[in-house]
Structure 1
């Protein structure tokens, strides 16, 4: 079953997105990029902008699932709060559009894409490039991360489908 997957790397200044198409066991790139908001804009306006741009992306590419990276912060709580708000807005945009939503931790993404939970950014970016058959690493980094998140779901989708059919869903 063909499936369009929207991966999201949450952020308030820059939210990465990546759309891939799962065809059988092949993952193909559709589009990727970033939603950027100006630094000195009030947070509510930035969140509104992210929401509307995500709705446009969803309307254009018609994904069936949105996959969002879970947050991991160990230092700056102020950043964690605003990124958490942007992440919430992304999830809201997905749910409001009727998408299945899934979340993965950074370690899960690294394991799925590279096969090693402590892989560095360069390893992840190179694997994204190779897995999607791209000639260069996707830029900026947030877009490459979003593609990695979408690939993580694509790798898990066949097992999720089997589990759901066993459960009668």
Structure 2
């Protein structure tokens, strides 16, 4: 499975592509950052980000996309730009027909380091160890995107099994309701 991880941001959007299968260590395919000009109009910056993401999808052909879920911070101005960049990523991934999943920063940190409170340096170091790299991906936004991709790669099989179990349960409940309605019609 190939996962494209996105650490959304309007000025710097981290991009990471990781590949792996169950039982084998993941491998880094690519880590990068999309930068937009802070002096440009917000709409233009979002369009630039969209074009870059579409190009990454075409070049690396991921099976899934993992995006960091936006969470509230004190600085509202950065939240808005991050949320807008996240929306563009969600749109691009969905339009491409990918499975698009969001993970919270604490989920990613816990998956990679074992602690949901790890700092950026710890995440970078563990990404380096997990992927057997000589150094963590730079800048930190790229390392965070790679961590997102690894987190999803590790969590996807479990999440898929849970989704399948929920689908089967809903199907069984639907069958039970249909049988109950048929029995009610025969009685009445």
Whether the TM-score (by the shorter chain) exceeds 0.5 is yes
Select between 100-109 and 150-159 the one with higher mean Cα deviation.
150-159
Secondary structure of the corresponding residue to residue 119 of structure 1: coil
Q: TM-score, normalised to structure 2's length?
A: 0.85
Find the counterpart in structure 2 of residue 68 from structure 1.
67
- Greater gyration radius: 2
Find the counterpart in structure 2 of residue 7 from structure 1.
5
Measured on the aligned residues, the alpha-carbon RMSD in Å equals 1.4
Alpha-carbon offset, residue 165 of structure 1: 4.4
Q: Deviations over 1:47-106 (max 9, x none)?
A: 000001000000111111110001123211122112111110011010011110000111
Secondary structure of the corresponding residue to residue 9 of structure 2: coil
Find the counterpart in structure 2 of residue 40 from structure 1.
39
Find the counterpart in structure 2 of residue 104 from structure 1.
103
Secondary structure of the corresponding residue to residue 86 of structure 2: helix
Structure with greater strand share of residues: 1
Gaps of 5+ in 1: none
Count of aligned positions? 167
Secondary structure of the corresponding residue to residue 74 of structure 1: coil
- After the TM superposition, which parts of structure 1 deviate over 6 Å for at least 4 consecutive aligned residues? none
Gaps of 5+ in 2: 169-188
Distance, in Å, in 2 between the alignment partners of 1:23 and 1:117 is 24
